């Protein structure tokens, strides 16, 4: 899964990466080696990030992003991971099973989380994270687009619902 995600659909890139990993690992390719070399986040990191924001813990979400950045994670790839998870939440909410390799545990958690979110919120989340994923490769602060997306999602979740205007009685 890690090599396929990093290769973003290119078989040639995936084979090249696998060859490099075999060489670096002296014939042994492990998940830890892949994560170290590719700068990939642990599988649960994207889920943890979104969970923190959805639970209105923006400060902890931003601290997590800072820690991942300090650890040398590839923020462009991590942004794509968060986007894939956000898309999966949207699809699950719509009753569609997302393609890809999602464990039964992750599917159960996605289903529980998606059930509590309305489609407008999920669409907003997907848009904010998609924009961040598209901008992650630019600038000297690659984590900034994802940080801004988390702030945007948090603000969307915490702003008061707009109440409908009062209905005026017809004048005789």
Q: How confident is the model at residue 137 (pLDDT cuts 50, 70, 90)?
A: confident
Give the separation between CA 61 and CA 26, rounded to whole angstroms: 37
Which is more confidently placed, 142 or 59?
59
Whether 21 and 37 have beta carbons less than 8 Å apart is answered as: yes
Which residue, 100, 135, 131, 97, is CA-closest to 114?
97
What average pLDDT does the structure give for the chain? 82
- CB count, 10 Å around CB of 101? 8
- Percent of the chain past pLDDT 90, that is, above it, reads 48
pLDDT over 90 at 22, yes or no: no
pLDDT over 60 at 167, yes or no: no
pLDDT over 80 at 144, yes or no: yes
Which is more confidently placed, 18 or 97?
97
Q: How confident is the model at residue 12 (pLDDT cuts 50, 70, 90)?
A: confident
pLDDT of residue 111: 92
Whether 84 and 126 have beta carbons less than 8 Å apart is answered as: no
Find the angle CA(82)-CA(83)-CA(87) to the nearest 5 degrees. Answer: 120
pLDDT of residue 33: 58
Give the separation between CA 19 and CA 25, rounded to whole angstroms: 10
pLDDT of residue 62: 98
Mean pLDDT of 27-32: 67
**Most confident segment among 10-14, 40-44, 62-66, 166-170:** 62-66
Q: Per-residue pLDDT tens for 44-103? A: 899 999 999 999 999 999 999 999 999 888 888 899 889 999 999 999 999 998 877 677
- CB count, 10 Å around CB of 142? 18
């Amino acid at each position: 899964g890690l090599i396929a995600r990093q290769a973003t659909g290119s078989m040639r890139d995936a084979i090249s990466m696998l060859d490099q990993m075999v060489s670096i690992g002296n014939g042994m390719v492990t998940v830890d080696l892949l994560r170290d070399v590719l700068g990939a986040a642990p599988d649960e990191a994207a889920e943890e990030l979104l969970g923190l924001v959805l639970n209105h813990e923006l400060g902890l979400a931003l601290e997590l992003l800072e820690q991942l950045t300090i650890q040398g994670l590839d923020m462009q790839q991590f942004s794509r991971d968060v986007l894939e998870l956000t898309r999966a939440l949207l699809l699950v909410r719509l009753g569609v099973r997302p393609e890809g390799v999602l464990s039964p545990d992750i599917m159960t958690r996605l289903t529980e989380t998606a059930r509590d979110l309305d489609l407008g919120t999920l669409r907003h989340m997907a848009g904010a994270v998609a924009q961040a994923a598209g901008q992650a490769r630019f600038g000297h602060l690659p984590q900034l687009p994802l940080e801004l997306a988390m702030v945007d999602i948090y603000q969307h979740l915490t702003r008061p619902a707009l109440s409908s205007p009062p209905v005026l009685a017809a004048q005789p």
